[in-house]
């Protein structure tokens, strides 16, 4: 009796779980069915490394977007990771319980703000600030990096804080017993010990930055040229899809799906490397 | 390990059931869809330019209220696709936001309105006008500083629309003369975003539908002619494009009623309220 009910629920849950997986499968299949013919037609090399994107002239090179994605993501890491690491060390080691109880949920709240709000805020405050103080049109890699750097904070902070907190107590006690100060302990014992978790958190944060679309469309300027400075506008892979899907048809639309395939590979690579790093531990 | 075996088997056997379910739902949904499609075909189908589409939708909505029981189905696809659809009968009426080329001239067509394109700058910019050639040089990055066209010494911040946009292709054919817009131009995906940026940035230049120019931006004179509706109508302001209805032959029945409604005083007034310039052939009953 119990066995059958047990079996039934087990199968039910399996079906429900598989249905979410099947969505992933459907999207992947769809991406490939739509995108691969165009990549085949243009040629993988010319698609990835072509520097001209002009669908109206049948030129599909996404290299400027790849450069844009890498530049903005690197910028976001430079902006976000130091702040996030300092914050996680503070939360795990220095913060009094009361402060921690306020700061931690506040950071979680940061993750709950819709990306369009980040973009709007960036457009109204960050972009004009850059335009009037640093020059250029304001819509730039710098603006995108700042916004994405803030957006990846919650991911990086919470995962690296957890990996700091989950270290065995003996590490810290041993270090103290050897006469190290608190900061020396953090720098020479705790941070190196939590390294894999921290690196994984950064990679997941990068994944978030690479996949972000809405906020980036609003502050990045979306120009399809290879940027020459951080004050130049640029376009990422996601924004290429986001900004052009409205009117795209035929080959142009296929090219956007093909952009999605490239994006899928990048995200897969990032996620699996994050998993690999944490598992090694 | 032993614990896992039955579960593994379940996973292996499940895709088959899943596939059957998937297939079933596909069959169901496709039959539903085809049911819908056949029902819609009873009405009039308009297809084509995404620039004309929103205006046609407004007209269709009003038309269906005025004539209960009629169905007007508006689809996008782009001007060329719309003209082709009208030619081969997939759609009763094709919508185009560009003039017909030589091979398309044999089709029946009527201009329902005109849309002006304004070249806009920030109100703080002292320039009041440019020539078409200057605008072309600016957008092809031959000219990159405002001082080269009589403005202040500042780098020009170019703003364009995205690939595929009707406004962009109209600008390309009217101004650029087969020279591409430089890839360095900032790209925004709506008229509103272009206007917002230009109103924020003293060094910016952009282009948008004439009907959407407001006090926050300044429309430049082109070749000495102010960008106004009146100048578009009398043909002196060159940056304008026709919005056309195209059909394989002169429409009859409900399609004709809809075209007549569009060209009627009421229809033209609605288009004018939406920011278009009423056509000279319209206005009559």
User: Quick one: tokens of B142?
Assistant: 């031959």
Nearest to A152 by CA among A100, A90, A238, A87: A87
Q: Is the pLDDT of residue A12 over 80?
A: yes
* Dihedral sign for Cα atoms in the order A280, B5, B7, B12: positive
Q: Could you report the predicted ipTM of this complex, rounded to two decimals?
A: 0.80
| Rounded distance between C-alpha atoms, residue A252 and residue A60, angstroms | 8
Instruction: Walk me through the domains of chain B, giving residue ranges and CATH numbers.
Output: 19-115+242-278 (3.40.190.10), 116-233 (3.40.190.10)
Q: For chain A, how many residues are written?
A: 281
Tell me how many residue pairs between chain A and chain B have CB atoms under 8 A apart.
Answer: 94
> How big, in percent rounded to 5, are the helix, strand and coil portions of chain A?
80, 0, 20
Chain B residues contacting A via beta carbons under 8 Å: 7, 10-11, 14-15, 18, 22, 50, 77-78, 81, 155, 157, 162-166, 169, 172, 180, 182-189, 197, 200-201, 203-204
Q: How many CA atoms lie within 13 A of A256 on its CB side?
A: 18
CA distance B55 to B277: 12
For residue A251, name the pLDDT band (cuts at 50, 70, 90).
Answer: confident
Kindly tell me if the per-residue pLDDT of B21 is higher than 80: no
- B51 has pLDDT over 90: no
B41 falls in which pLDDT band (50, 70, 90)? very low
- Kindly tell me the number of DSSP H helices and DSSP E strands found in chain B: 9, 12
Confidence of residue B282 (pLDDT cuts 50, 70, 90): very low
Q: What is the pLDDT of residue B95?
A: 92
Question: Percent of chain B, pLDDT > 70?
Answer: 83
A218 vs A59, A117, A123, A207, CA distance in Å? 25, 10, 7, 19
Confidence of residue B5 (pLDDT cuts 50, 70, 90): very low
pLDDT score at B54 = 85
pLDDT for A41? 93
- At A2, the pLDDT band (50, 70, 90 cuts) reads low
CA distances from A227 to A234, B59, B68, B230 (A): 6, 44, 56, 42
Burial annotation B172-208 (CB, 10 A radius, 16+ → b, else e) = bebbbeeeebbbbbbbbbbbebbbbbbbbbbbbbbbb
Local structure of A249: helix, strand or coil:
coil
B-chain CB neighbours of A10 within 8 Å are 7, 10
Average pLDDT over residues A239-268: 89
Burial category of A120 from C-beta neighbours within 10 Å (exposed 0-12, middle 13-18, buried 19 and up): middle
In the block, tokens 């100048």 appear at B231
Taking an 8 Å cut-off on Cβ atoms, the answer to whether A14 and B187 are in contact is no
Query: Does the beta carbon of A149 lie under 8 angstroms from any beta carbon of chain B?
Result: no
**Rg, C-alpha atoms of chain A:** 22
- CA torsion A215-A219-A225-A230 (nearest 10°) is -110
Predicted pLDDT of residue B280: 61
Grouping H, G, I as helix, E, B as strand and the rest as coil, residue A20 is helix
Angstrom distance (rounded) from CA B59 to CA A35: 37
pLDDT over 60 (residue B9): no
Q: Is the pLDDT of residue B74 over 60?
A: yes
> pLDDT tens digits for B231-274?
888 888 988 888 999 999 888 888 999 999 999 988 998 888 88
Q: Which one-letter DSSP state was computed for residue B279? A: P
Distances (CA, A) of A46 to A52, A53, A163, A266: 10, 11, 42, 18
- The separation between the first and the last C-alpha atoms of chain B, rounded to the nearest angstrom, is 83
Residues of A within 8 A of B184 (CB-CB) are 223, 225, 232-233
Q: Is the pLDDT of residue A77 over 90?
A: yes
Task: Give tens-digit pLDDT for B99-137.
Answer: 887 888 889 999 999 888 999 999 999 999 999 999 999
Give the pLDDT score at B281. Answer: 54
The string of pLDDT tens digits covering residues B142-183 is 999 999 998 899 999 999 998 877 788 889 988 988 888 999
Split at pLDDT 50, 70, 90, the class of B1 is very low
Whether chain B has a CB inside 8 Å of the CB on A139: the answer is: yes
Query: pTM to 2 decimals?
Result: 0.78
Sequence-distant (6+) residues with CB within 8 A of B7 are A10
Q: What is the mean pLDDT of chain A?
A: 91
- Give tens-digit pLDDT for A164-200: 999 999 999 999 999 999 999 999 999 999 999 999 9
B157 contact residues in A (CB cutoff 8 A) = 136-137
pLDDT at B42: 60
Indicate which of A133, A137, A225 best probes the interface with B, i.e. most B CBs within 10 Å of its own CB. Answer: A137
Please name the helix (run of DSSP H) or strand (run of DSSP E) that holds residue A60, with its range, or none. strand A59-60
User: E strands within chain B?
Assistant: 44-48, 72-77, 93-96, 108-121, 129-130, 157-161, 186-188, 204-209, 218-219, 221-222, 240-247, 277-278
Predicted local distance difference test score (pLDDT) of residue B22 = 43
Cα gap A53→A62, rounded to integer Å: 6
CA angle B17, B23, B29 (to 5 degrees): 135
Residue B13 reports pLDDT greater than 90: no
Closest CA in chain B for residue A11 = B10
The C-alpha atoms of residue A250 and residue A129 are separated, in whole angstroms, by 40
| A212 at interface of B, judged by CB pairs closer than 8 A | no
Residue B25 pLDDT > 80: no
Q: CA separation (Å) from A229 to A64, B141, B205?
A: 13, 17, 21
Chain-chain contact of B187 with A223 (C-beta, under 8 angstroms)? yes
Q: What Å distances lie between residue B186 and A77, A236, A237, B179, CA to CA?
A: 24, 13, 16, 17
What DSSP element (H or E) covers B37?
helix B4-40
B20/A142: higher pLDDT: A142
Please give the domain boundaries of chain A with CATH numbers for all domains.
64-248 (1.10.3720.10)
């Amino acid at each position: 009796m119990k066995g059958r009910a047990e079996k039934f629920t087990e199968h039910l849950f399996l079906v429900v779980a598989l249905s979410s997986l099947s969505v992933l499968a459907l999207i992947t299949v769809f991406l490939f069915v739509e995108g691969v013919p165009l990549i085949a037609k243009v040629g993988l090399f010319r698609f990835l490394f072509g520097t001209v994107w002009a669908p109206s002239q049948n030129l599909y090179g996404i290299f400027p977007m790849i450069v844009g994605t890498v530049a903005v993501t690197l910028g976001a890491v430079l902006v976000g990771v130091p702040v996030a690491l300092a914050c996680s060390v503070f939360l795990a080691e220095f913060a009094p319980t009361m402060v921690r109880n306020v700061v931690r949920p506040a950071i979680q709240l940061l993750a709950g703000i819709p990306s369009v709000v980040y973009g709007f805020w960036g457009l109204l405050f960050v972009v004009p600030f850059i335009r009037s103080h640093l020059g250029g049109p304001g819509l730039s890699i710098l603006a995108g990096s700042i916004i994405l750097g803030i957006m990846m904070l919650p991911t990086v902070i919470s995962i690296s804080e957890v990996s700091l907190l989950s270290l065995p107590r003996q590490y810290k006690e041993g270090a103290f017993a050897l006469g190290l100060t608190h900061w020396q302990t953090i720098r020479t014992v705790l941070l190196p010990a939590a390294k894999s978790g921290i690196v994984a958190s950064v990679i997941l944060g990068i994944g978030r930055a690479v996949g972000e679309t809405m906020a980036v469309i609003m502050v990045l300027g979306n120009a399809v040229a290879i940027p020459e400075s951080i004050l130049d506008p640029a376009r990422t892979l996601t924004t290429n899809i986001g900004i052009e899907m409205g009117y795209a048809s035929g080959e142009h639309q296929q090219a956007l799906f093909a952009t999605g395939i490239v994006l899928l590979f990048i995200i897969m690579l990032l996620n699996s490397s994050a998993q690999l790093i944490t598992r090694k531990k | 390990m032993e614990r896992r075996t039955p579960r593994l088997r379940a996973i292996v056997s499940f895709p088959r059931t899943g596939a059957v379910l998937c297939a079933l739902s596909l069959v169901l949904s496709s039959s539903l869809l085809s049911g819908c499609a056949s029902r819609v075909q009873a009405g009039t189908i308009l297809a084509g330019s995404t620039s004309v589409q929103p205006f046609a939708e407004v007209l269709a909505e009003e038309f269906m209220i005025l004539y209960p029981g009629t169905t007007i189905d508006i689809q996008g696809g782009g001007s060329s696709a719309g003209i082709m659809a009208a030619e081969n009968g997939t759609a009763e009426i094709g919508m185009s936001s560009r003039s017909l080329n030589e091979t398309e001239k044999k089709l029946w067509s009527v201009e329902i309105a005109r849309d002006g394109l304004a070249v806009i700058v920030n109100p703080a910019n002292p320039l009041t006008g440019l020539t078409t050639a200057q605008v072309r040089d600016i957008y092809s990055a031959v000219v990159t500083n405002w001082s080269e066209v009589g403005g202040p010494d500042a780098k020009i911040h170019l703003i364009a629309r995205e690939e595929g946009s009707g406004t962009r292709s109209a600008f390309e054919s009217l101004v650029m003369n087969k020279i591409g817009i430089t890839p360095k131009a900032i790209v925004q995906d709506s008229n509103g975003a272009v206007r917002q940026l230009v109103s924020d940035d003293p060094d910016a230049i952009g282009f948008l539908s004439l009907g959407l120019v407001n006090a926050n931006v300044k429309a430049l004179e082109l070749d000495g002619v102010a960008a106004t509706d009146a100048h578009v109508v009398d043909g002196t302001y060159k940056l304008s494009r026709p919005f056309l209805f195209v059909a394989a032959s002169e429409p009859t029945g409900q399609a004709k009623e809809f075209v007549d409604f569009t060209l009627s005083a009421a229809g033209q007034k609605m288009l004018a309220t939406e920011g278009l310039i009423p056509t000279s052939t319209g206005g009559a009953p």
